[in-house]
Amino acid sequence: SQQGEEDPQALSIQEGENATMNCSYKTSINNLQWYRQNSGRGLVHLILIRSNEREKHSGRLRVTLDTSKKSSSLLITASRAADTASYFCATDLYNQGGKLIFGQGTELSVKP
């Protein structure tokens, strides 16, 4: 069964707006990674946040992690039409040797 659950399943916004996606998980993790996928192609690695970190930034991306609530969020600021894609969180479970457990993903549509 999937460890992660993502919310919302789909999100539609206008260019320039911010997009926030949430991910919840169930068990202890080493890290949590966010990926982007365009039209069923490969996964592009966006950002990794370790279990002992609370916030991380990369360009227009901001990721937070709350291990007490077992949740993470991905914020994309000033979105662009090119950000239209599916976004997945993946948890690297503690003591599971690097096996990633993915959520169902959030489908983001950014309208010009």
Interface positions with other proteins (CB under 8 A): 2, 4, 30-31, 33, 35, 40-45, 48, 50-52, 88, 90, 92, 95-105
Minimum CB–partner distance for residue 6 and other proteins (Å): 8
Minimum CB–partner distance for residue 86 and other proteins (Å): 9
Q: Is 60 exposed, middle or buried (0-12, 13-18, 19+ CB in 10 A)?
A: middle
When the beta carbons of 17 and 55 are compared against other proteins, the nearer one is 55
Minimum CB–partner distance for residue 103 and other proteins (Å): 5
Contacts of 78 (CB under 8 A, 6+ apart): 16, 18, 60
CB-CB contact of 92 with 51 (8 Å): no
When the beta carbons of 41 and 69 are compared against other proteins, the nearer one is 41
When the beta carbons of 15 and 67 are compared against other proteins, the nearer one is 67
Minimum CB–partner distance for residue 89 and other proteins (Å): 9
And the tokens for 69? 């609530």
Strand duo 85-93 + 106-111: pairing = antiparallel
| Residue 25, SS3 per DSSP | coil
When the beta carbons of 76 and 103 are compared against other proteins, the nearer one is 103
